[in-house]
Amino acid sequence: MIVHAHNYTPEACDIYSSLIEAFRKNRIRAKLCDVLYQPFIDNGIATETDIQPLEKTITPDSGRIMLSIGGDGTFLEAAKSVLTSNIPILGINKGRLGFLSELQPNQISWAMGELLRGAYRTAQLDVLSVYEGDKREPIDYALNEFSVSKCDNSSMLTIHAYVDGDYLTTYWADGLIIATATGSTAYSLSVGGPIAYPSTPSFIITPIAPHNLSIRPIVVPNNVAIKLIVEGRGPKILTSMDGRTHLMEGDCQLRIGKSPFSVRRVQLEGHSFFATLRDKLMWGADRRNSNS
């Protein structure tokens, strides 16, 4: 078992202690990331017989499952760290919304038992690869979304979009989002994009504050290549992959497509996408619905 977190927070000691107790109960010697290993030892949460440090490079042999402790941002970090190892991730929610990290801290002991007896399934989630110009190696990957946007208070961008070489349209907007089905409930949703079931083989192209009112989000298959020719009036533009930002030249070309690998997300019994929609986003909430 691997444990990942963005940082060590003393206020989460109850979660950490519950996790170590569950490991001891089930005779699991877990591997902890750097930000957790030494603080666990120093604060008496665990001993060296309970845990060991996680190696710098994660391989398929590093562990059977990764536990991500935090919010959805931490889950996205965890996803990038296991991209090529195919290790599935289970998110323990220590954040606010917890859409990807849906396991609650009081469910840790139960969850460990379910994992050990194999009472779970995994869902394959698409990953985006982002390329600059004609370069063969991607500049980054994204599980939720890729976005390009203007910097600071500069003027809106002009973005010419092509799908598999076929001209789509030109966006005059503050930016553009390319989201996976998993990311449909994140940034894309906040600017008017549709919700998609996480395993739906699709990408969602959603403009940010478009100047042409007839422009609406569009859903395309996940096997297409999306090309963006970006023209900015400022010297720089901002690109973002799951919140990791890069400054790029004001005029550039970008290619976005499906990665050859995916992220495996652990799903335990009793947890479903539709239940999460209703619970986290209050989707369909109406007092006329007895189940709302």
Give catalytic residues, as residue numbers. 72
**DSSP state for residue 257 in the 8-state scheme:** E
DSSP string, 203-235: EEEEEES-SSTT---EEEETTS-EEEEEEEEEE
Q: How far apart are CA 93 and CA 127, in angstroms?
A: 22
- Measured in degrees and rounded to the nearest 5, phi and psi for residue 230 equal -105, 130
Task: Spell out the alpha helix ranges (H) of the chain.
Answer: 13-25, 34-42, 72-81, 108-116, 187-190, 273-280
Give the three-class secondary structure for 102: coil
Give the three-class secondary structure for 44: coil
